[in-house]
Amino acid sequence: MTTGSLLAVDLVIAVLAAVGWLGAGAASAARRRPLALGLAALALLATLARAGTVTALARAGWWFAAEKVLIAAPLSFAGVVVAGPRLLRAVGDVRAVAVPLLFAGYAAGAGLLVTVLHGYPASAGVGLLALAGVVAATAVSWRILGARPSPTVSRAAVAVAVAALVTGTGLTVTPEPAPAVPHDHQYREAGTAGEPTRRFTLTAGTATVTVAGRDVAAWAFNGQVPGPELTATVGDVLEVTLRNRDIGRGVTLHWHGYDVPNSQDGVPGVTQAAVLPGQEFVYRFRADQVGTYWYHTHSASDVGVRKGLYGVLVVRPAPVTGVDVTVPVHTLSGLPLPAARTEPVQAGTPVRLRLINTDSTTHRYALAGTPFRVAAIDGYDLRGPTPLVDTTVLIPAGGRYDLVFTAPATPVALFVDGRQVYATGPVSAATGGWPVLDPLGYGAAAPVPWSRFDKTFTLVLDRGLDLRGLLPRYAHTVNGAADPDIPPQVVRFGDVVRFTIVNRSQVVHPWHLHGHHVLVLARDGRPAAGSPLWLDSFDVRPGEVWQVAFRADNPGMWANHCHNLAHADAGMTLHLMYA
Ligand code: C2O
Ligand code: CU
């Protein structure tokens, strides 16, 4: 079983245990003896089964099990010890064991809440809060069920609950020192890139665009979705003037995957101020890396990108031979882009398909009718890519794959999630059952250029209750905190930095670091075995642990976030900061 499914199974069993004990408590309070016994047996089984799942999770990585071992297990154990023997001794009237059974239920429920609302890391404060909840709920049940707890016991219970509550709240809520992310700091003048050789103007505004014959309200660059395709030849200096006509939430341009100087990175509040209606901002940078990239607004990025503020950036070597096609995939108001197109290609012509995923979730791409190679991922050429046939590739949110092939005499077609988007002639193919390429085993290996790391960071991705803002929210968290409370990762210029990224949650997190490409070292403890993979966007699936590394060679303050932009908005954003 994968760690991801183990996490899901453990959650289901935990719910069963809590519901079982609580139900048994309620049934015994109502003197429904057989029901109470049945539910208690179910709860006991579930509790025992959890011993197995939690042990397995701990073996997959302490991150997956910490709070289960440290908080949920002791609580559940106490519940079983208190309720079990009393239940066995209860002959005749089962009502007498209602409170112990409820206690076991509260204990199991509290452990579950710690996992669902807080997660990793487990802290003493959270453990004490859980204990306070269990004691208080038990005391209240005891009074209600009229069993008249002895004054000593009830006073002791109140004292324990209050002490745990006070200590726990203190430990949990003590404000940590504000993270040193200087927002709105310096806007360094661009101008170091040299004389511009390619100039573009992008004007952001609300627009109505037609998709699949339907009029859709969009936010667009120059009235079109996607925005104009920006192309350059390696060595060009790009100058892009961004204007905002009427996007009230502001606009910026972020060059996704293009490792530009920090001042050109387009992150509002970090590298520049958002461009408001009537304003403009000029970006300038040298196009010194070839490859497939894209640009998008980083202001209110979730809604902005979704509504259409994105476009393609391609930097080509000179001269270009053959057919070179960009396929930026997007979902606009539920409608898929781009529209399907068919263009005959003469047999023998080299073809490059640049696949770009501009959505917030993974897409599945299948090329039918020809063997092909994956020549590049995220703009970086792969080493020794071998031919693939009838194989699909999964591209994470924000990611790009370049597929190359020599046009055969027969037609070829590209499918995205089963929908044909590009073809050289009529093709019908059922691609649903094709195997999926694992890029970590594709192409020719090369040694990792570093053997030691100057800085190592661990990012544990999860969900949790975030109480710091004005309104409590169920945030997407990193190490138990949500933006803007996640401490920045501080590095020095020249450091070799290693990230361990752990997904404890039930959903995929496409990870994206600005300003750098990271080299994949390992996934789930297995070293990457194929071509070196220099990525800027990679899917960390539930239960996965990725190790990636990079050299800190691009000074500044860089966003480091989940590229499911709704998650990024809901807390899953932090910063890499050069000291
Ligand atoms: Cu394409 Cu910070 O994002
Ligand atoms: Cu995410």
Of all protein residues, the one whose alpha carbon is nearest to atom 3 of ligand 1 is: 256
Residue 561 CB less than 6 A away from ligand 1 = yes
> Residue 174 has what pLDDT?
52
268 lines ligand 1 (CB under 6 A): no
Question: Does 147 have pLDDT greater than 70?
Answer: no
| CA–centroid distance, residue 503 to ligand 1 (Å) | 19
Neighbouring CB atoms inside 10 A of 164's CB total: 21
Confidence of residue 393 (pLDDT cuts 50, 70, 90): very high
Going from the Cα of 65 to the center of ligand 1, the distance in angstroms, rounded, reads: 31
Report the SS3 class of residue 184: coil
Residue 560 has pLDDT above 80, yes or no: yes
User: Which ligand has the minimum distance to the alpha carbon of residue 255?
Assistant: 1
Amino acid at 568: A
Q: Which atom of ligand 1 is nearest to the CA of 537?
A: 1
Greater confidence, 143 or 277? 277
- Side by side, the strands of the sheet bearing 537-540 are 489-491, 573-578, 557-562, 509-513, 537-540
Q: Which residue has the higher pLDDT, 214 or 95?
A: 214
**Residue 348: exposure state from Cβ atoms within 10 A (0-12, 13-18, ≥19):** exposed
CA 162-164-165 angle, to 5 degrees, is: 60
pLDDT reported for residue 184: 46
Q: Which whole number is the average pLDDT over 169-191?
A: 53
Contact of 309 with 204, CB cutoff 8 Å: yes
Report CA(566)–ligand 1 centroid distance (Å): 12
Alpha-carbon span 26 to 9, nearest angstrom = 26
Is 498's C-beta closer than 6 angstroms to any atom of ligand 1? no
Structure tokens given for 121? 């890391």
Question: Kind of pairing, strands 400-406 and 392-395?
Answer: unpaired
For residue 62, report the distance from its CA to the centre of ligand 2, in Å: 21
Ligand 2 centroid, distance to 523 Cα (angstroms): 18
State the distance from the centre of ligand 2 to the C-alpha of 504, rounded, in angstroms.
11
Mean pLDDT along residues 11-26: 97
Q: Which uninterrupted H or E stretch holds 366?
A: strand 363-368
Q: What does the pLDDT average to over 23-47? A: 94
Q: Which ligand is nearest to the CA of 540?
A: 2
Q: Minimum-distance ligand to the CA of 462? A: 2
Ligand approaching nearest to the C-alpha of 256: 1
Region 353-365: mean pLDDT is 98
Burial class (CB in 10 A: 0-12, 13-18, 19+), 460: buried
Whether the Cβ atoms of residue 577 and residue 491 lie closer than 8 Å to each other: yes
- Tell me how far the alpha carbon of residue 555 is from its chain's centroid: 25
Where helices occur in 145-226 by DSSP H, the ranges are 151-173
**Would the CB of 316 count as within 6 Å of ligand 1?**
no
Least confident interval from 162-176, 329-343, 453-467: 162-176
Res 537: pLDDT: 98
* C-beta 298 within 6 A of ligand 1: yes
> What does the alpha-carbon distance between residue 88 and residue 236 come to, in Å, rounded to a whole number?
81
Tell me what the mean pLDDT of segment 242-260 comes to.
97
pLDDT grade for 149, boundaries at 50, 70 and 90: low
Q: Which helix (H) or strand (E) covers residue 286, if one does?
A: strand 280-286
Q: Is the C-beta atom of 400 inside 6 A of ligand 1?
A: no
Instruction: State if residue 575 touches ligand 1 by the CB under 6 angstroms criterion.
Output: no
The ligand whose atoms approach the alpha carbon of 476 most closely is 2
289 Cα: distance to centroid of ligand 2 (angstroms): 28
Reported pTM: 0.93
- Supply the mean pLDDT for the chain: 93
Inform me whether the pLDDT recorded for 153 exceeds 80: no
Q: Which ligand is nearest to the CA of 560?
A: 1
The residue-averaged pLDDT of 171-200 equals 61
Q: Which atom in ligand 1 lies closest to the alpha carbon of residue 398?
A: 1
For residue 528, the CA-to-ligand 1 centroid distance in Å is: 25
Ligand 1 atom at shortest distance from the alpha carbon of 257: 1
Whether the CB of 254 sits within 6 Å of ligand 1: yes
Atom of ligand 1 nearest to the CA of 565: 3
Ligand 1 mean position to 319 CA, how many Å? 30
Q: Is the CB of 243 under 6 A from ligand 1?
A: no
> Which atom of ligand 1 is closest in space to residue 294's alpha carbon?
1
Res 38: pLDDT = 95
pLDDT of 482 reads 94
Distance 383 CA to ligand 2 centre (A): 29
Q: Grade residue 190 by pLDDT with cuts at 50, 70 and 90.
A: very low
What is the tens place of the pLDDT at every residue in 420-468?
A: 999 999 998 899 999 999 999 999 999 999 999 999 999 999 999 988 7
The rounded distance, in Å, linking the Cα atoms of 221 and 118 is: 41
Please give the distance of CA 157 from its chain centroid, rounded to a whole number. Answer: 42
Ligand 1 in reach of 563 Cβ (< 6 A): yes
Write the CB contacts of 403 (distance below 8 Å, at least 6 apart in sequence). 352, 353, 355, 365, 367, 372, 373, 374, 375, 393, 414
Q: Whose CA is nearest to atom 1 of ligand 1?
A: 256
Model confidence at 160, pLDDT cuts 50, 70, 90, reads confident
568 Cα–ligand 2 center, Å? 7
At residue 161, the pLDDT reads 84
Which atom of ligand 1 is nearest the CA belonging to 559? 2
List Cβ neighbours of 29 (8 Å cut-off, separation of 6 or more). 95, 98, 102, 145
